[in-house]
Amino acid sequence: MASFGKGFENQFKHHLVKNTKPGVPRIWVDGCFDMFHWGHANVIRQAAAAFNYKCCLCVGLHSDKTITTQKAKPVMNEEERTAAVLACEWVDEVVDGIVWWCTPYDFVKSFNIDYVVHGDDIVCDAVTGKNCYWEIQEHGMLKLVPRTEGVSTTDLIYRMLNPTSQDHWTGYRHSILSIDKIRLFSEQKRSPKKDDTIVYLDGVFDLLHIGHYKLLKHAKEIGSYVIVGVYDDVIANKKLGINYPICNIGERVMSLLACGYVDNVVIGAPEGITKEMIEKMHINKVLHGKHEYNELLYKDAIEMNIMDVYDSGSTVTALDIINRIKAMHDTYEERNSKKQR
């Protein structure tokens, strides 16, 4: 635990420092970040962009107990939510297990915070009815950024609870993937260098979870440049069925671009990899998770002795997340009915 937060040690669990950036503004963004998606990441990105990315961005995560009291039991537990936020491209520090719902001025100042950033959809305390950032506003520290339209945890839950829903494959939600959005999420990415060890891995990457993040982190540990091949919705649906994938190709690409372990994304990649792909993309290592690994699709990589199968130790899958939602069907239906999709 870092030295910040003195006097508030019982109000959070850990202070995790990923990057040290002295001499720049310290920015705070807090929330539940449940089922972390590209809309969450975009709030964090906008917070960093407001300072031309020359800042130290600290994310505060509410505890499971606090979220349950204010809303409903989170789909992802604290460990899973922390792993997702730590993986985010623009995050430097994470303070998890926070017991506050309304953000106290003294608490954020104990971390030497200069400004607090939030989306323009500020919520109120379910018990007191107060604006959750009233103290921050009184001290002139609050900056608002636009909410990202077309994606929300509420909407993802709706898709899972309604297996015949296919609106995420058509219309506005399917138009998420655009050059301007890709450019915004790729500003901090770099091109590969001649001396890079390039690692390639492919998959659906639906509902990014702790298992995915562990796999992607391992990719970065065994290489210096990570390329992720993402299957299109047709291939993903053939593999998974019903109305899967829950997140369409645009949403899955954006979520991967928001991950700091990922350097580049191949949109609509084929299953597996060929010798031609390996040679033309200058790939040094091919990685796959132990789950559902089909050796035939990676025959060339195996023969070239560059195949690595990694067991993250995580048993979480996208289906597990869907089953969590279904197990609390009534609770989430009631919660979601109170919100406008």
pLDDT tens-digit profile of 229-260? 999 999 999 988 888 899 999 999 999 999 99
> Would you state the pLDDT for residue 145?
96
Which of 127-136, 150-159, 279-288 is the most confident on average? 279-288
> Would you state the pLDDT for residue 142?
97
Mean pLDDT of 294-308: 97
- pLDDT at position 173 over 60: no
The residues pairing with 141 across neighbouring beta strands, listed in sequence order, are none
Domain segments of the chain: what residues? 9-148, 155-319
- pLDDT at position 3 over 70: no
Residue-wise pLDDT tens digits, 181-220: 999 999 999 999 999 999 999 999 999 999 999 999 999 9
Higher pLDDT, 120 or 25: 25
* 144 within 8 A of 118, measured Cβ to Cβ: yes
Residue-wise pLDDT tens digits, 17-35: 999 999 999 999 999 999 9
CA distance 275 to 192: 20
User: What share of the chain has pLDDT > 90, as a percent?
Assistant: 72
Instruction: Name which of 46, 28, 6 is nearest 141 in CA terms.
Output: 28
- Please determine whether the domains at 9-148 and 155-319 fall in the same fold group of CATH: yes
> Would you state the pLDDT for residue 50?
96
CATH T-level topology, domain 155-319: Rossmann fold (3.40.50)
Residue 156 is inside which H or E element, if any? Answer: helix 153-161
Give the pLDDT band of residue 167 (cuts 50, 70, 90).
low
CA distance 108 to 12: 12
- pLDDT at position 314 over 50: yes
Strand-pair category, 198-203 with 56-62? unpaired
- pLDDT at position 7 over 90: no
Q: Within 13 Å and on the Cβ side, how many CA atoms surround 218?
A: 20
Mean pLDDT of 170-184: 74
Mean pLDDT of 163-191: 78
Range name among 16-20, 288-292, 299-303 with the lowest pLDDT average = 288-292
Supply the Cα-derived Rg of the chain in whole angstroms. Answer: 20
Instruction: Name which of 67, 75, 61, 63 is nearest 316 in CA terms.
Output: 75
Ramachandran angles phi, psi of 159, nearest 5°: -60, -40
- pLDDT at position 341 over 50: no
245: cis peptide before it, omega within 30°? yes
CATH T-level topology, domain 9-148: Rossmann fold (3.40.50)
> Would you state the pLDDT for residue 169?
60
Give the pLDDT band of residue 340 (cuts 50, 70, 90).
very low
Burial category of 9 from C-beta neighbours within 10 Å (exposed 0-12, middle 13-18, buried 19 and up): exposed
